[in-house]
Amino acid sequence: MKDGARARDLDALRAEVRRGRIPAHVAIVMDGNGRWAEARGLPRVAGHREGSESVRAVTREARKLGLSALTLYAFSAQNWLRPRDEVGALMDLLREYLLSERAELCDNQIRLEAAGDLARLPSRVREPLAELRGVTAGRPARMVLTLALSYGSREEIVHAARSLASDVAAGRLAAEAIDEEELGRRLWTAGLPDPDLVIRTGGERRLSNYLLWQAAYAELLFVDTPWPEFREIGLLSALRDFQRRERRFGKTSAQVAAEHG
Ligand code: IPE
Ligand code: IPE
Ligand code: MG
């Protein structure tokens, strides 16, 4: 397809999406980088590098559409088990991303956040991450971009349970005061609304320890497109799919229709 035709298709799809309901929070499992590269005879890291172009494109598109939160699974607690070289290359790419995106995030009023066991990250990632979080936190923001880094949902729930238990043991919290909100405040995603839509690219149909608590009522979408090819068109198509669904939250279709008048 010619570039002009592709741009027109994208504009038409964008206009269609804008006419529908825009979710507040989209969370993505950015999978398929390694296989994308291997299929081209390239080293896996080339897939991760190309994947960071999708991060830029999707972030920009999400912001333009008016999402209030975008959460990207960038590195899982289990990914620490990958070969040392791949972990090192991923950390280098993260550092590069954090150093290069400052102007883009600030100019577009995007606040950067991170969720995960951040203490495990090497200082070459932790430092620019803390710096960028600090800079963007001090400015007005129209969207929060959260990187799930060294993130595992079970690890997160264990962490929250420990925090609740120690407050109860110390007499700072009554056991009866523990409810969904109180637990939610101790998750690494505290402050974020629950995701409305969770997308996984790359063809696998699993959550891989991502947002297990938070996604209790999220719409799930699994697409075969590998993350490096997802880009704006991938996000827009996913939102069209989301807009065709009916979210019932346990109620009947008739009740939902009546509520939306
Ligand atoms: C996702 O791509 C990125 C990370 C997990 C860091 P993968 O590296 O898992 O790519 P595949 O699944 O092997 O293709
Ligand atoms: C999930 O992808 C984690 C990220 C995308 C960061 P994985 O590739 O690590 O998941 P599994 O191993 O296929 O479940
Ligand atoms: Mg994978």
What pLDDT was estimated at residue 261? Answer: 77
Return all residues near 22 (Cβ < 8 A) that are at least 6 apart.
65, 66, 67, 239
Q: How far apart are CA 261 and CA 256, in angstroms?
A: 9
Pick from 27, 2, 28: which is nearest to 226 by CA?
Answer: 28
Pick from 216, 224, 154: which is nearest to 187 by CA?
Answer: 154
For residue 236, what pLDDT band results from cuts at 50, 70 and 90? very high
What pLDDT was estimated at residue 88? Answer: 98
Return all residues near 217 (Cβ < 8 A) that are at least 6 apart.
194, 247, 249
pLDDT, the chain, mean: 97
For 101, the 3-state DSSP assignment is coil
Percent of the chain with pLDDT over 70: 100
Pick from 84, 157, 70, 59: which is nearest to 117 by CA?
Answer: 157
For residue 1, what pLDDT band results from cuts at 50, 70 and 90? low
Q: Give kind and range of the element (H or E) at residue 89.
A: helix 84-100
Residues contacting ligand 2 via CB (< 6 Å): 29-31, 73-76, 79, 204, 206, 208
Count of Cβ atoms closer than 10 Å to residue 222 Cβ: 16
Q: How far apart are CA 225 and CA 237, in angstroms?
A: 11
What pLDDT was estimated at residue 138? Answer: 87
Query: Is the distance from the beta carbon of residue 116 to the nearest atom of ligand 1 less than 6 Å?
Result: no
Q: How far apart are CA 61 and CA 50, in angstroms?
A: 17
- Ligand 2: distance of its center to the CA of 31 in Å? 6
Instruction: Give the start-to-end residue ranges of the domains of the chain.
Output: 23-152+195-245
Marked catalytic residue, from 79, 108, 167, 194: 79
Lowest mean pLDDT among 1-5, 119-123, 166-170, 198-202: 1-5
- Ligand 2: distance of its center to the CA of 32 in Å? 8
Phi-psi region of 228 (alpha: psi -120 to 50; beta: other; left: phi over 0): alpha
Pick from 100, 73, 13: which is nearest to 227 by CA?
Answer: 73
CATH class of the domain at 23-152+195-245: alpha beta
What pLDDT was estimated at residue 260? Answer: 87
